Each structure stands twice: as C-alpha cells, then as structure tokens.
C-alpha cells in the first residue's frame, strides 16, 4: 500500500516494517554454511599450533605443561569467543537478518537513547571495525592458501620453490569464480568442507588414541597455570593462539548469506567438535614427538596420506578465503548504503537469498591486495605475524558495539553487561595487546590497510555532506521553482518526466536546466528520491510515500522510495509498484532525467586538499547511476552542473 502525504501535514516520518531476508534454514543451508561461513576458522589447524611453538624462535617450548596449557588456551578461546560471544550472543544482534560490524553499528546507532554525538561515535567504531575487517580479508586468503600448499615440502623439500607460483594461481582462480555467486560456491564447497571436517576429526582421534592423556587439556586449569607460572611466555603464546579463532568475525558478517539457524547448527554439530578433536590430536603428537612442532598438522597424518591431504587442504583453504571475501561484499554494500562509500555495482547471485551478492569492484581490489601480499611475504610464517592485529581489533570493536546495543535495545542489567564485557572483552584485550607487540614485524600491514580504508570511508562521508550542502544551495527550493513556472509559463509537452533526486525540498538541477534552456516542461513531472533506511530490508508495502509538491497546477509530484541497505534501488520497478497502488505515474513511457554533479577542486578550506582529491577520485569511479537505479538507457537523459569543493 502506498502512503499519501498531503503537503499541509508536513514531514511526518515513515515508520517501515522489515521483511525477512531468509527462507527457512535446512540441511542445504547448513551444508552451504560449512562451505562459506566456516572455511576460515575451519582451516586454522593448518597453522595455529605450528605458529605458537615457532613464534620468536621457539620461546614456547614443547614441554608437557606447555602443550597442555596451549591446547587448553586454544579450546577455551574458541569456546568463549566463538561459541559464547558470536554464536550464542552476537548472532542475536542481527539487523533484520543481516550481520557484520557495519550492520551492528547501524543497529546500535538506531537503538542508543542519547543524542547525536553518541550515535556518531558508534558509527565511527563501525567504520574502524569494518576497515580492520578489510585487512583480515586481504591477509586470510594469502595465509590460508600458502599454509596448505606448503605441505608440498613436507615429504619433498625441493618443491618449496613452486609453492608461491602455485599459490598465486590458486588465488587467481578463487577470485575468478566469485562471480558465480555464494549459492553456487556454497553448493560446490559445502561437500568439500564436510569431508575436510571429517578428516580433521579422524586425524585428531588417531592422535588422541595414541595418547589419551591430552584429553585432560580440556580443563581450564591448564590454561590458568600456563599463564600464571610463565606470564611472559603465556603472553607471547596468546599472540599466536588467536590464530585458532580467526574467521569468527566472518561468521557474523556472512549471516546474511545463510541465516542464523543453519550457522548455529553447523557450528555446534560439526565444526566445533571436529576442531576440538584435531587440536587435541596435534597436542598429543607434540607430546610424543616434540620435533613435530615443525608442522604438527601434516605430521599427524600417516605418510601415505600427506599428498591427498595437501590437495584437500588446498581446496579447504580456498574455501576459507571465501568466508572473508563474501563477508567483505556484505560489509561493503552496507557501508555504501549507509553513506560511507560511493555507489557500488552489486549483482545478486541468488533468486531466493537477497544477502547473496557479488561486488566486482571489491572483488578485484581484494584480489590485487592478496596477490601483492603473497608476493611480498611469500611464506605463511611471515604472514602469521601480520594476521592477529586486524582480527583482535575487530573482535574488540564488535564486543563494544554489541554491549552498546544490548544496553540500549535489550536493557541488559549492569551486572550482565560487566560479566560478558570482562569475560569476553578481557580475553580479547589480552589477544590484542599480545599482537600489538608484532607491529614492527608485520603487524603494521593490517593497521595500514585499516587506516587507508577508514580514511577513504570518512572522507567520502564528509565530502558528500559538503557537496550536498552546496548542491542544495544551487538547486534552490521547489517553491521558488513553482513561482517561476507560474510567472514564465513554459510550454507543456506530452509525456512524463521522472527526475531522480535526493529530496523533495529542492529542485532537481536537470529539471531546472531543461526548463530554462528549452523553455518546455513535461505534462507530468515526477521527482523520485531513494531513501536508505537504517535497516537491511524495507517491505514493499511500506516503501512508497508520495505527495503533490508546488502548486496543484504544476502537475509535479514527489515519490520517496524507501530501501534497506541490502535492497536493490530499482527505480522503474518501484514506480510500477507505485502505479499499481494508485499513484498517478506512468513509468513505462516516461523519460528519466539525471542530474550529473561534477565536483571542481578549489582553495576552499572545507576539507584538506588531499582529501578533496580522494573524494573526487572516488566520485569518478562510482557506479553509473543508470545501472545503479536500473534505468532504461534509451530513455535516460543526463544533464550536468558543477559544484565547487
């Protein structure tokens, strides 16, 4: 149902109702989640324990107490951060079915009860967290793929020289198949990951049977003793233990692709048990043979199985990369719709799941970053030093935003907030501090990526605000244009002209210039504004608000089409829906007009010059508004104007 607003009633706010983005989850979605959501954390056994015992030239010696302590730390870190924080709590903070730190920031901003300053801080935290997630998205494919391919040199050291070229080929194929979409990729990867987790469990069980004593490492007292008796060694170890929980943020970011129930089922029934068994098996192997710390994962397998395991591990790590790539697509689209990135070309890859998308620009930017990273760092042990800082920083920011939301929306008690904050946030703070020490040895990389991304997002946000203010001043109020029409009486020509324009308060530049230069105006004029709401989806029944603007004889109406940040902004489709509900508009024969704004660089001090150049570059590379709004090319006219920045 379209809503009519009389001009005399003023600017009453539309209250939208959300629509669910997901169909009922089942075995198929759970299997797809195995292939997309859990690839990253599912391949951590390849390098996590190896990194712990090799960090700082073996400062964590493979003694009995140390092995029990490390395995206990790994198990309880997974339990607290992934099972408790993300799966039990954070997945509940879905923004109309969507996850990810930008969706969480938007949700928290909507629920905070204080003024605009707190809401602004919440969004800045979301931007920083998203920026760190991009750092994770660049490092994960490189370290995951290389950690698997490096298994080639376990049985045959001479093959080491082929590992980097082969890794580059695998990564290239991975990014090439992204256009196929998450649904197809999930169907392809799901069975592979099911086999992978089964192999993890079998390898782990073999190690446990050989030395069942390792089962005692599940007791938290081993972790406590390890940290208390050797605080410095324990602190250093924590910097690598965090590698066992990388991928937890991608788990949340990918919620929009599959939904909460399939993710929870896959985690508790498959992923968590298999990971636990494999880490216990690796610990058992290290207890029996301390030299196996060189590569405990591959050495856990019998000699005949190493080559097949390398092939399976390579496939699994390609899938691991899928988790952060699809998460980056979701986060990018959310950032764009919330005003922190320019228009992006987004392609839906599933007719059923609206969250399954492909963003070409993000895909190829990530590909370039991953390939460069691979060629510079080359080996997984070097990449490991750069990995943890981005992950732990994102963890902390997600915890902070979740607690803000739990306080504002769910009215959690102070005791409950403190309990979760101390338990989870305290552990994550230790992880973060342990990884800060790696800044000079590779940790600078995710920080640099985060700084670049955050600067880009905040520059676009600020530049857009400045340009919008200047554009509105140039456009002038719609009432002034109405008076000009009454005075000049331009010729009316048959047909409908649709002007895509940000608001109803001002006159579209294309409308003003077309009327002034050609001295004609269409018989029916429709000004269409697309409004991005702070929710992922807006129900079609609640999305249309229209009203007459100007004088009744002007035949000018304004239609506001409300979209969520995961909805396609298809203007002709929205107008057809409006027509079917009684709005006087004919989209089929209409001519569409776009106001092209060209930004000129000036000496004004609204922004530093380098940020102005960055904003202009982003504007030039934004997606075409014709494609973005799904306008018919043969019936769309662009008219430009200059705005000084």
For 85-107, write each residue's pLDDT tens digit. 999 999 888 776 777 788 888 88
Domain match, 185 and 120 both: yes
Structural domain ending residue among the three candidates 394, 425, 442:
442
pLDDT mean over 256-266: 79
> Is a pLDDT exceeding 70 seen at residue 411?
yes
Structural domain ending residue among the three candidates 397, 424, 442:
442
Assigned domain for 213 exists: yes
**Per-residue model confidence (pLDDT) at position 429:** 94
Sort 470 into a burial class: Cβ within 10 Å, 0-12 / 13-18 / 19+.
middle
**Gap between the Cα atoms of 82 and 611, Å rounded:** 38
pTM attached to this predicted model: 0.74
Domain match, 385 and 486 both: no
Question: What is the pLDDT confidence band of residue 47, given thresholds at 50, 70 and 90?
Answer: confident
Domain match, 433 and 295 both: yes
Domain match, 360 and 230 both: yes
- 3-state SS string for 239-276: HHHHHHHCCHHHHHHCHHHHCHHHHHHHHHHHHHHHHH
Assigned domain for 503 exists: yes
Domain match, 562 and 438 both: no
Domain match, 323 and 365 both: yes
pLDDT, tens digit, 9 for 90 and up, residues 201-215: 999 999 999 999 999
Assigned domain for 266 exists: yes
Domain match, 113 and 179 both: yes
Q: What is the CATH number of the domain that holds 73?
A: 1.20.1740.10
> Is a pLDDT exceeding 80 seen at residue 217?
yes
**Per-residue model confidence (pLDDT) at position 1:** 42
Structural domain ending residue among the three candidates 425, 442, 459:
442
pLDDT, tens digit, 9 for 90 and up, residues 459-475: 999 988 888 888 888 88
Assigned domain for 538 exists: yes
**Gap between the Cα atoms of 432 and 130, Å rounded:** 16
Q: What is the residue-averaged pLDDT of the chain?
A: 82
Domain match, 245 and 195 both: yes
C-alpha atoms less than 13 angstroms from C-alpha of 119 in its C-beta half-sphere: 11
Assigned domain for 107 exists: yes
Domain match, 435 and 580 both: no
Q: At a CB cut-off of 8 Å and minimum separation 6, what does 219 contact?
A: 72
pLDDT, tens digit, 9 for 90 and up, residues 570-601: 899 899 988 888 888 888 888 999 888 777 77
Assigned domain for 463 exists: no
Assigned domain for 124 exists: yes
Assigned domain for 210 exists: yes
**Per-residue model confidence (pLDDT) at position 350:** 61
Domain match, 409 and 534 both: no
- Count of residues in the chain: 645
C-alpha atoms less than 13 angstroms from C-alpha of 635 in its C-beta half-sphere: 15
Question: What is the pLDDT confidence band of residue 240, given thresholds at 50, 70 and 90?
Answer: confident
Question: What is the pLDDT confidence band of residue 5, given thresholds at 50, 70 and 90?
Answer: very low
Q: How many domains does the structure of the chain reveal?
A: 2
pLDDT, tens digit, 9 for 90 and up, residues 288-322: 999 999 889 989 999 888 889 988 888 887 776 77
Domain match, 427 and 493 both: no
pLDDT, tens digit, 9 for 90 and up, residues 523-558: 888 999 988 776 767 887 778 888 888 777 778 888
Domain match, 493 and 390 both: no
Q: What whole-number percentage of the chain has pLDDT above 90?
A: 24
Domain assignment of residue 261, given as a range:
29-442
């Amino acid at each position: 149902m379209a809503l009519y607003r009389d001009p005399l009633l003023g600017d009453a706010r539309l209250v939208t109702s959300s629509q669910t983005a997901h169909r009922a989850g089942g075995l198929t979605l759970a299997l797809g989640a195995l292939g997309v959501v859990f690839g990253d954390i599912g391949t951590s056994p390849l390098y996590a324990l190896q990194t712990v015992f090799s960090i700082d030239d073996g400062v964590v010696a493979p003694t009995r107490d140390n092995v029990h302590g490390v395995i206990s730390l790994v198990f309880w870190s997974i339990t607290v951060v992934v099972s408790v924080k993300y799966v039990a709590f954070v997945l509940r903070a879905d923004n109309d079915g969507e996850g990810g730190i930008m969706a969480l920031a938007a949700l928290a901003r909507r629920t905070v009860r204080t003024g605009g300053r707190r809401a602004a801080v919440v969004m800045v935290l979301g931007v920083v967290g998203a920026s760190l997630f991009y750092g994770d998205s660049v490092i994960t494919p490189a370290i995951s793929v290389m950690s698997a391919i490096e298994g080639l040199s376990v049985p045959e050291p001479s093959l080491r020289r082929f590992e980097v070229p082969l890794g580059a080929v695998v990564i290239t194929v991975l990014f090439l198949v992204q256009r196929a979409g998450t649904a197809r990729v999930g169907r392809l990867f799901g069975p592979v990951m099911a086999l992978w987790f089964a192999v993890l469990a079998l390898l782990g069980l073999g190690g446990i049977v050989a030395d069942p004593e390792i089962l005692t490492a599940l007791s938290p007292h081993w972790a406590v003793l390890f940290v208390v008796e050797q605080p410095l060694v324990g602190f250093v170890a924590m910097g690598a233990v965090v590698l066992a929980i990388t991928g937890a943020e991608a788990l949340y970011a990918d919620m929009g692709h599959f939904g909460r129930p399939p993710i929870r089922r896959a985690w508790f029934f498959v992923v968590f048990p298999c990971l636990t068994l494999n880490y216990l098996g690796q610990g058992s192997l290290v207890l029996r043979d301390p030299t196996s710390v060189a590569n405990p994962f591959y050495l856990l397998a019998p000699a005949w199985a190493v080559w097949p395991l390398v092939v399976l591990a390579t496939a699994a790590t390609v899938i691991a990369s899928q988790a952060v790539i699809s998460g980056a697509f979701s986060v990018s689209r959310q950032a764009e719709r919330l005003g922190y990135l320019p228009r992006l070309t987004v392609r839906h890859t599933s007719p059923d799941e609206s969250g399954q998308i492909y963003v070409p620009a993000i895909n190829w930017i990530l590909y370039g970053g991953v390939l460069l990273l691979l060629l510079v760092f080359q080996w997984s042990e070097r990449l490991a030093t750069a990995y943890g800082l981005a992950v732990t920083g994102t963890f902390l920011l997600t915890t902070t935003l979740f607690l803000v939301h739990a306080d504002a929306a769910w009215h959690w008690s102070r005791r409950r907030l403190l309990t979760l904050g101390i338990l989870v946030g305290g552990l994550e703070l230790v992880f973060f501090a342990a990884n800060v020490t790696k800044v000079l040895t590779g940790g600078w990389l995710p920080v640099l990526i985060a700084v670049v991304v955050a600067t880009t997002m905040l520059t676009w946000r600020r530049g857009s605000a400045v340009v919008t203010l200047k554009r509105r001043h140039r456009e002038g109020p719609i009432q002034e244009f109405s008076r000009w029409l009454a005075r000049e009486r331009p010729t009316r020509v048959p047909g409908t002209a649709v002007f895509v324009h940000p608001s109803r308060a001002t006159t579209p530049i294309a409308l003003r210039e077309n009327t002034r230069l050609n001295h004609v105006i269409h018989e029916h004029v429709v000004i269409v504004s697309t409004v991005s709401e702070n929710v992922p989806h807006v129900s079609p029944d609640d999305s249309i608000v229209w009203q007459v603007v100007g004088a009744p004889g002007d035949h000018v109406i304004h239609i506001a089409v409300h979209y969520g940040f995961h909805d396609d902004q298809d203007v002709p489709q929205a107008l057809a829906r409006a027509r079917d509900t009684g709005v006087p508009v004919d989209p089929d024969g209409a001519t569409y007009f776009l106001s092209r704004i060209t930004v000129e660089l000036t000496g004004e001090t609204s922004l530093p010059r380098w940020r102005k150049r960055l904003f202009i570059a982003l504007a030039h590379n934004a997606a075409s508004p014709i494609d973005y709004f799904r306008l018919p090319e043969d019936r769309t006219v662009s008219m430009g104007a200059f705005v000084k920045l």
